[in-house]
Structure 1
Amino acid sequence: MTSAKLVSLHRRESGGEDTLWAVVASMGKRHRVAEVFRSHAAAAADMAWRTQQVQAYVDFLRRNEQPVPHYSLAPIKRTDLPRQWKPLPALGFLRGQFI
C-alpha cells in the first residue's frame, strides 16, 4: 500500500512539474515576476506578505510621487521565465530595483 502512494505522488509531481504559480509585481504598465512557487497557497501567502510590506510605505511613495506596486498571482511555466530571472525583493522598489 505504501508503494502505491509513492507512485501516485510521483505521477502528480511529474505532471505539474512545469507549471508554477508566479507572484507578479506591477507598476503602471510594467510587470515583473517577483517570485515563483509550486503551490497556489504558498504564492498567495507571499503575495499577501509583499502587499503588507508595500502598505507600510504607501504614504512615503505617494509623497514622493512614486508609483505603488501591486501584486497578483498567475500560473506560469518554468520555460516562460527569463534566463537571468532572479526573485524581486519585496521592498526592492525603494532602491530602484523594480525593473
Structure 2
Amino acid sequence: MATQGKRNVIANVYILKEKAEADCHWRTSQVRVYSSFLRSEQQIIPRYWVKKIKKAELPKRWSPLPALGILRGKMI
C-alpha cells in the first residue's frame, strides 16, 4: 500500500509476504534517495507499508505503481 497525504492506493500485489516486504523496502529506499527532490518540488513524500488484501479489493483497471508515482506524470 502507498499513502500520500490522505490518499491510499495499492502499490503492488505479491502472494508471498517476504516479496511484499522486499518491495516495500525497495520503494521506501527510493523515496529516501529522492526525498530532497520531492521536498524541493513541494510534493508530499509517499509512505509505503504491507497490508493483506483480497483479490476482490483490486480496482478493475489496477496496475502496479511506480516507486515515486511521479513516473506517470503525477503523484499517487
Partner of residue 30 from structure 2, selected from 32, 47, 53: 53
CA RMSD of aligned residues (A): 1.2
Match of 1:67 in 2: 44
The structure that is helix-richer by fraction is 1
Structure number with higher strand proportion: 1
Q: Max radius of gyration: which structure?
A: 1
Normalising by structure 2, we get a TM-score of 0.91
Q: Which has the higher contact order (CA 8 A, sep 6+)?
A: 2
- In the TM superposition, structure 1's runs of 4+ consecutive aligned residues that sit over 6 Å from their partners are none
1:44 CA displacement: 0.1
Q: Deviations over 1:6-25 (max 9, x none)?
A: xxxxxxxxxxxxxxxxxx01
Q: Distance in 1 between matches of 2:38 and 2:75?
A: 15
| Contact 2:46–2:68 (8 Å) recurs in 1 | no
Counterpart in the other structure of 1:96: 74
Amino acid at match of 1:57: Y
Identity of aligned residues (%): 44
- Equivalent residue number for residue 20 of structure 2: 43
- Alignment: residue pair count: 75
Q: Aligned with 1:31: secondary structure?
A: strand
Q: Which runs of 5+ in 2 are unaligned?
A: none
